[in-house]
Amino acid sequence: METDTDTDKFKVSFKLRGKEGRNHFVISAPPQLIQELITLRKISLNWQKHNIREHFDIKRCFKCQDFGHIQTNCKRKNVYCVYCGNSHPSSTCRNNRAQCLNCSEANRNRRVKYDINHFASDNKCPVYQQMVQRYKDSLTYE
């Protein structure tokens, strides 16, 4: 980003809280500028270096833990726990063992062998990673 006019081409969409008091800013920009930013991997703003990476807003329902919709649009009758995958609210979970409902269902329905020993909210979840890849494949930065 060489000129001041480049910063006029993007806007902050929203802010995410990070670890250790850090904030992450999600920006919107024209496709060509996004491609340039991704290639740069870092940007200097106000004399500070900032890391650049893509953000994928994959919706996850807090009722059933499935991807692609939110709780207000959920068609399932039961509430499922984000931690253990059982049918109870996450706030009341007493299980000590993490079990991802999405990976368990994928193993059963699609005959895959995903590791289920993680929360449904884990960014490393294979089903979540599949959703991210599907979204990436639909993008064009032209």
Three-state secondary structure call for residue 136: helix
The residue extents of the domains of the chain are 11-51, 71-139
Average pLDDT over residues 78-96: 97
Is 103 in contact with 115 (CB distance < 8 Å)? Answer: yes
Average pLDDT over residues 128-132: 96
Average pLDDT over residues 12-17: 85
Average pLDDT over residues 32-58: 84
The predicted structure's pLDDT at residue 117: 98
pTM above 0.85, yes or no: no
Long-range contacts of residues 108-113, Cβ cutoff 8 Å, at least 24 apart: none
Q: What distance lies between CA 134 and its chain's CA centroid? A: 13
- Terminal-residue alpha carbon distance, the chain: 19
User: Per-residue confidence at 105, pLDDT binned at 50, 70, 90?
Assistant: very high
Phi-psi sector, 97: left (phi>0), alpha (psi -120 to 50), beta = beta
Q: Determine what percent of the chain is predicted with pLDDT higher than 90.
A: 54
